[in-house]
Structure 1
Amino acid sequence: MKKLTTLLLLSLATYNVQAQSFIQAYQNRANQVTQANIISLLQDFAALGVKTSGSVANNNTLNWLKGKYQTYGYTAGQITEDSFTVNGNTTKNLIVTKTGTIYPDTYVIICGHYDTINGPGVSDNGSGTSILLEAARILKDVPTEYSVKFIHFSGEEQGLIGSNHYVNNVVFNNNVRQLNLKVVFNIDQVGGKISNPSNTIVCESDQTSAGGTANNAPSLAMTQQLANCTTLYSPLQTTMSNAFSSDYVPFEAKGDIITGFYETPVSGNQHTVNDTFANIDPVYVFNVGKAAVGALQHFAIANTTLSVNETNANLLESVKVYPNPAKNILNIELPNTIKNFNIEITDMSGKLVLKSENQKGINVSALENGVYFCSIKTDTESVTRKIVIKK
């Protein structure tokens, strides 16, 4: 993602944000983002190693992504690849298209890069990658008025090579526009920092002369809407900043409307071997995911009527885990209808450190002080809570 730079953070009030209506169906779907899924995706991404564009690890990650979309039910006809070379090595962008019901030829793009340098890149940009996957899973069968493209770019770390290739060869061909875009919503480096938890996300807009200034005001309006959706559908607060050095830039240069998410404060681990699962804050990624699903529905105008499957809420979402911090006994409070369940506690590296079955009082006295994840699972559902052991 971005090299460290001084960002101009502006007060949200400066932008004269207008209220948007809360839509319960959008909230229900945002709530379908699960902490367990986010953690699993981040750990899987980490395990794939350093994903330098065109490397074996990079190609393995592409195949992992394709497999996820196939598992979610996306067909071969919806999944396309865009090949290009980086330093003589072939790599690919992955594009997954969901067709709109009213405006099938106008697209909302939600994107993020999956290539990394120097480390596994769990924040930069496994975080954005995991959120795209969760959004695609949740919205797979939800009708949207506008078409949606979920795009995973490669070559970002070498200078936005993948997104430049896509813009200049797919969105445009010989400088003739081929795709009409409503907005490009980029998610890059939203992993947070486990040692410095945050409840604020940066919402980015185009305020430069790149591609002319005609798209600046529409970008600002879209970013106002992104900020509104964030506070409507997630517990996060927002701050505003200018777009900078990520995969929305080639679109911006062609006059398209862009917006995006970026973490605050900046972890400082990007582009280093320290960009690992142990150093990010998965709860922060989870909350950004909820905001992203809410905003994507707003941008694409999703159906406001829930299907039968969507109304069957995860009963485990109401689980309570206390005390937190815990010293000796960790209590699990579940709905009375749940009789059979498993408890798994993992450390920040993903190592399983404690497991029990149908036990609501867990003895954690043998665990060392630190941060852990407690997953409660039934045959059909799961939920994960962050816990702290402090003696």
Structure 2
Amino acid sequence: MKKLTTFLCTALAVGNVSAQTLIQAYKNRADQVTQTNITNNLQQFSNLGIKTTGSVNNANTLTWIKNKYTSFGYSASQVVEDPFTFGSTSSKNLVITKTGTVYPNKYVIICGHYDTVTGPGTSDNGSGTSVILEVARILKDVPTEYSIKFIHFSGEEQGLYGSSHYANNVEFQSGVRKLDIKLVFNLDQVGGKIGNVNNKIICERDTAGQSGNNAASNTITQQLATCTTLYSPLQTSISNAYSSDYMPFEKKGDVITGFYEYTRSYNEHTVNDTFANVDPVYVFKVAKAAVGAMQHFSTASSTVSAISASKEKPLQTLESVKVYPNPAKDVLNIELPDLRTKNFSVEITDLAGLSMLKEDNKAQINISRLENGVYLCTVKTEGSSVTRKIIIEK
């Protein structure tokens, strides 16, 4: 985590960015964050002990995080271990990928480290870990235009080794960019201290290293602050990003932002960084803000679910409808959730709203006659509909 001697307390009050307004579907999902999940995650993380990079506890924590994603329903192919070595120490990052519907090859990264020093590190950084897990749980079946990578880094405390490895060997390979990253959103020490007034969060912007990405970082961080006030009860301040896992990405020219606790706990890197000293309610509020922000950053579906009034078996949300591949060539597949009704329609229109084709109750749509371009695909059932942007590319 960040060294005490280098903390720049240059927080500035931030107002809302006028272009952003509350999206009800985003708020509904932010409200799915539960205090029980956050508290359990913090307690379980704390119980895993001191997680020094390369230690048994560090490896056990990786397994615990991995099992969380499995319980959320992420497939084995989505959950990838990323091993790295520095000196005589070996450890692993954990990378979970959720594919976007429109820009599958452009990524929004949400990240934080899980290694600790001295104590169990419940705030630094069990808090960030717990928030990322809750964001991943809630967004698992929510369509997002951009792909999301949930990344849990190790080796942060010894010198950002895990994130440096990822930026230098996965994002770039032999100096050539392999991943197109829209932005990196880092969460580090967002636990607060029980007994403090914890009603504000610092939103971090880039002011160091390369100057070419500073303006974009400032814009994204202003948006992060606005999302925070829209989807959580927290107030916001702006300060400078430094000494955490977004910095190796900043050096590569990526746009970065982050969350950091406003009222310092000063328990980091000590035996006092325990579950008993963290503020679970504060972490809960941070998670609501993070869910809102990640939907904004990844352009999540803004459709509000239509729920049947039937008491026997209500209609499930259409938000989990899968439309693939995207880009598509000749055939478009429609995968619906387990709905009460099997009657549905699929209509593809151009961006001007002109209907190009319509099919009823077909899971495979022949699109071979459509020209290359961007279209809207609307899936409708009785009382509910959802629209996806699709690209046809032959």
Q: Same fold (TM over 0.5)?
A: yes
Q: Secondary structure at the match of 2:61?
A: helix
**What are the equivalent positions in structure 2 for 1:59-208 lying under 5 Å apart?**
59-208=59-208
| Distance apart, 1:6 and its partner CA | 3.7
Structure 2 vs 1, CA of residues 309 and 47 (structure 1 numbering), >3 Å: closer, same or farther?
A: farther
**CA offsets, 1:268-294, max 9 Å, x none?**
000011000110110000000000000
Structure 2 vs 1, CA of residues 195 and 169 (structure 1 numbering), >3 Å: closer, same or farther?
A: same
| Distance apart, 1:7 and its partner CA | 1.6
| Distance apart, 1:92 and its partner CA | 0.1
In structure 2, what is the Cα distance between the partners aligned to 1:96 and 1:235?
29
Deviates more, 1:254-263 or 1:83-92: 83-92
In structure 1, what is the Cα distance between the partners aligned to 2:192 and 2:83?
31
**CA offsets, 1:131-166, max 9 Å, x none?**
000000000000000000000000000000000000
TM-score, normalization by structure 2: 0.76
Q: Secondary structure at the match of 1:76?
A: coil
In structure 2, what is the Cα distance between the partners aligned to 1:86 and 1:275?
26
Q: Secondary structure at the match of 1:74?
A: coil
| Distance apart, 1:16 and its partner CA | 8.2
**Is residue 197–residue 284 contact of structure 1 (8 Å, CA) maintained in 2?**
no
One-letter code aligned to 2:243: S
**What are the equivalent positions in structure 2 for 1:348-359 lying under 5 Å apart?**
none
Q: Percent of pairs identical after alignment?
A: 65
| Distance apart, 1:266 and its partner CA | 1.1
Aligned residues: 309
In structure 1, what is the Cα distance between the partners aligned to 2:156 and 2:226?
28
| Distance apart, 1:307 and its partner CA | 4.0
Where structure 2 has 5 or more consecutive residues not aligned to the other structure, the ranges are 315-394
One-letter code aligned to 1:9: T
| Distance apart, 1:309 and its partner CA | 8.0
Q: Which residue of 2 aligns with 1:235?
A: 233
Q: Which residue of 2 aligns with 1:329?
A: none
In structure 2, what is the Cα distance between the partners aligned to 1:178 and 1:114?
25
Deviates more, 1:244-253 or 1:82-91: 82-91
Q: Which residue of 2 aligns with 1:12?
A: 13
Structure 2 vs 1, CA of residues 50 and 204 (structure 1 numbering), >3 Å: closer, same or farther?
A: same
Q: Secondary structure at the match of 1:273?
A: coil
One-letter code aligned to 1:181: I
In structure 2, what is the Cα distance between the partners aligned to 1:281 and 1:86?
34
One-letter code aligned to 2:281: V
The yes-or-no answer on 1:286 pairing with 2:284 is: yes
**Is residue 11–residue 202 contact of structure 2 (8 Å, CA) maintained in 1?**
no
TM-score, normalization by structure 1: 0.77
Structure 2 vs 1, CA of residues 42 and 189 (structure 1 numbering), >3 Å: closer, same or farther?
A: same
One-letter code aligned to 1:270: E
Alpha-carbon RMSD: 1.7
| Distance apart, 1:12 and its partner CA | 2.9
The yes-or-no answer on 1:217 pairing with 2:215 is: yes
**Is residue 190–residue 263 contact of structure 1 (8 Å, CA) maintained in 2?**
yes
**CA offsets, 1:243-279, max 9 Å, x none?**
0100000000010000000001111000011000110
**Is residue 110–residue 132 contact of structure 2 (8 Å, CA) maintained in 1?**
yes
| Distance apart, 1:198 and its partner CA | 1.2
| Distance apart, 1:22 and its partner CA | 0.6
| Distance apart, 1:183 and its partner CA | 0.5
Q: Which residue of 2 aligns with 1:386?
A: none
Find 2:294's aligned residue among 293, 296, 301. 296
**CA offsets, 1:60-87, max 9 Å, x none?**
0000011000000000110111101244
Q: Secondary structure at the match of 1:118?
A: coil
Q: Secondary structure at the match of 1:71?
A: helix
**Is residue 205–residue 241 contact of structure 2 (8 Å, CA) maintained in 1?**
yes
**Is residue 171–residue 177 contact of structure 2 (8 Å, CA) maintained in 1?**
yes
**Is residue 16–residue 225 contact of structure 2 (8 Å, CA) maintained in 1?**
no
**Is residue 53–residue 86 contact of structure 1 (8 Å, CA) maintained in 2?**
no
In structure 2, what is the Cα distance between the partners aligned to 1:180 and 1:247?
18
The yes-or-no answer on 1:267 pairing with 2:268 is: no
Where structure 1 has 5 or more consecutive residues not aligned to the other structure, the ranges are 313-391
Deviates more, 1:298-307 or 1:106-115: 298-307
Q: Which residue of 2 aligns with 1:375?
A: none
Question: Greater CA radius of gyration, 1 or 2?
Answer: 2
Q: Secondary structure at the match of 1:295?
A: helix
In structure 1, what is the Cα distance between the partners aligned to 2:42 and 2:222?
29
